[in-house]
Amino acid sequence: MRIEWLGHACFRVQTGNGTRIVTDPFNEEVGYPVLSVEADIVTVSHQHFDHNAISMVRGEPRVVQEPGEHRLGDVVVKGVSTFHDKEEGAQRGANIVFVISADGINICHLGDLGHLLNQEQISRIGPVDVLLVPVGGTFTIDAREAVETVAALKPRIAVPMHYKTGYLNLPITGVKEFTRHYDRVVHRDCLEVTRDSLPEKTEIVVLAFTEGREQP
């Protein structure tokens, strides 16, 4: 399985069988280079412009934007209802945490999670191998809350997302506010992982930005 970070909360996942999954595509207003990627499956955690730009994804992807279990060929996508804020959605609405299962690996994309998970939500999410966790604060959990969330979900690999970069003009913090809480942080261009290659203890992996463009 190969995982690339296309900026903000958008990742491109390719399974061993070649199924392509794109999470939370953004539009041109966000600041990152405009997406032009092809996918078989698109997940949308909530209906904000920086997460639901389905039109930026080429092909005829199956769009998953509801809670519950969705079986899509060799991939199972499970959506768990959460909130975009600490007031049960009163400020920013609902958020869906998606668990993408393929190749014997569970990838958990937290979307714009705005609160600490309760025990019921943790139980519904289930085992997590790779956690894609927002860390920038303001619109999501902040760096310290992200550290608590990593500790609660106990992934084998945690990848930060939704943090301040040179492309963004948003009032959120950079990734170092999160990574400074850990002794060992690995930087990679992309993440290639198999069930057998997962580390025994939680490893923090910061992925380099990959421009989400393909030739037509």
Nearest alpha carbon to residue 113 among 149, 147, 78: 149
Q: Between the CA of residue 108 and those of 76, 124, 183, 216, what are the distances in Å?
A: 12, 12, 23, 30
Q: d(Cα 175, Cα 133) in Å, to the nearest integer?
A: 11
pLDDT computed for residue 85 by the predictor: 87
pLDDT computed for residue 214 by the predictor: 59
The domains of the chain are located at: 2-207
Q: What is the CATH number that goes with domain 2-207?
A: 3.60.15.10
pLDDT computed for residue 211 by the predictor: 84
pLDDT tens-place string over residues 180-192:
999 989 999 999 9
Give me 92's structure tokens: 């920013």
Q: Per-residue pLDDT for 215 more than 90?
A: no
pLDDT tens-place string over residues 131-148:
999 999 999 999 999 999
- Per cent of the chain over pLDDT 70 is 98
pLDDT computed for residue 89 by the predictor: 81
The reported pTM is: 0.96
Upper half-sphere CA count for residue 90 (Cβ side, 13 Å): 3
pLDDT tens-place string over residues 188-211:
999 999 999 999 999 999 999 998
Q: d(Cα 113, Cα 83) in Å, to the nearest integer?
A: 6
The model's confidence at residue 104, banded by pLDDT at 50, 70 and 90, is: very high
Nearest alpha carbon to residue 98 among 112, 114, 118, 119: 112
Give the count of beta carbons closer than 10 Å to the beta carbon of residue 61.
20
- Does residue 45 contact residue 32 with C-beta atoms inside 8 Å? no
Region 82-86 average pLDDT: 91
